[in-house]
């Protein structure tokens, strides 16, 4: 317990699934949590839940594809809590398993705006206070879709591969300045990410063809524990790495 005492942690997409589990666990471990999400009502609800449990939290609305909103988010975190020690880029969207020949410019740009530009904007802006502090941790939530080529459609797969490359570069470039950057790559997890999806029939069949080899689905709370390790001092010598948490699916 208390692995994150006096740390300020900003988590995007923090109102459901893995992001929500991370926010709640980090708060239990002593972090002051900035709960960021597109849904302001839900962000405020999660923040209030943390406060009712004795923690410190701030709920804010943010579209991570909008650099101005991301800047306001990070400024608010520092104004409220005095520092920014941990950034978790969790917000992400799926692409309905759409194969290349059906990917429109609009779909491509939407996926890249959230899954790549969002973490880029947030990391670049968070780096400023982290460099002043001489320390900080960035954790990017990718996917086994960022390692394998057949877990999602073309745009999502490309975006999650890009996020891993981005993370490796950040981890190496700033290692000597006290900043670590790692990736958590979940496998199948019980979340609501597919709630409003309209899967492409052909793409969905192809991408699910190996699902029978998955040992089991994971739970958000299990992923949150891995995230806690990666942002804590327990992982002080872990940098520029991608930690897969998929129950052994990729081992097949």
| Residue closest to 13 by CA, chosen among 133, 186, 131, 134 | 186
Neighbours of 236 (CB within 10 A): 9
Measured distance between the N- and C-terminal CA atoms of the chain, rounded to whole angstroms: 35
DSSP tag of 150: S
Neighbours of 112 (CB within 10 A): 18
Per residue in 122-145, is it b (16+ CB within 10 Å) or e — as a string?
A: bbebbbebbeeeeebbbbbbbbbb
DSSP tag of 218: B
103 forms bridges with which residues in the sheet?
none
Do the Cβ atoms of 243 and 230 come closer than 8 Å? yes
Q: Which residues are catalytic?
A: 156
Using CA atoms, how far apart are residues 66 and 21, in angstroms rounded to an integer?
24
Using CA atoms, how far apart are residues 85 and 77, in angstroms rounded to an integer?
10
| Alpha carbon 37 to its chain's center | 12
Neighbours of 118 (CB within 10 A): 28
């Amino acid at each position: 317990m208390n692995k994150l005492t006096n740390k300020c942690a900003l988590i995007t997409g923090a109102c459901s699934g893995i992001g929500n589990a991370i926010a709640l666990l980090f708060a239990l471990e002593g972090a002051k949590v900035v709960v960021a999400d597109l849904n302001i009502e839900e962000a405020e609800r999660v923040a209030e839940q943390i406060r009712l449990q004795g923690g410190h939290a701030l709920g804010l609305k943010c579209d991570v594809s909008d650099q101005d909103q991301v800047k306001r988010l990070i400024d608010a975190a520092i104004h409220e809590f005095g520092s920014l020690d941990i950034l978790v880029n969790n917000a992400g969207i799926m692409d309905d398993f759409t194969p290349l020949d059906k990917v429109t410019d609009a779909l491509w740009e939407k996926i890249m705006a959230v899954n790549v530009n969002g973490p880029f904007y947030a990391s670049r802006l968070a780096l400023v206070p982290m460099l002043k502090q001489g320390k900080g941790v960035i954790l990017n939530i990718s996917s086994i879709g960022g390692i394998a080529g057949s877990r999602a459609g073309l745009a999502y797969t490309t975006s999650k591969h890009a996020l891993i490359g981005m993370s490796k570069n950040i981890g190496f470039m700033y290692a000597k300045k006290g900043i670590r950057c790692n990736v958590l790559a979940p496998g199948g997890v019980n979340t609501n990410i597919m709630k409003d999806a309209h899967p492409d029939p052909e793409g969905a069949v192809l991408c699910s063809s190996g699902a029978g080899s998955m040992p089991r689905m994971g739970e958000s709370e299990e992923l949150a524990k891995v995230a806690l390790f990666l942002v804590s001092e327990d992982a002080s010598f872990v940098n520029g790495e991608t930690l897969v948490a998929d129950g052994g699916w990729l081992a097949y």
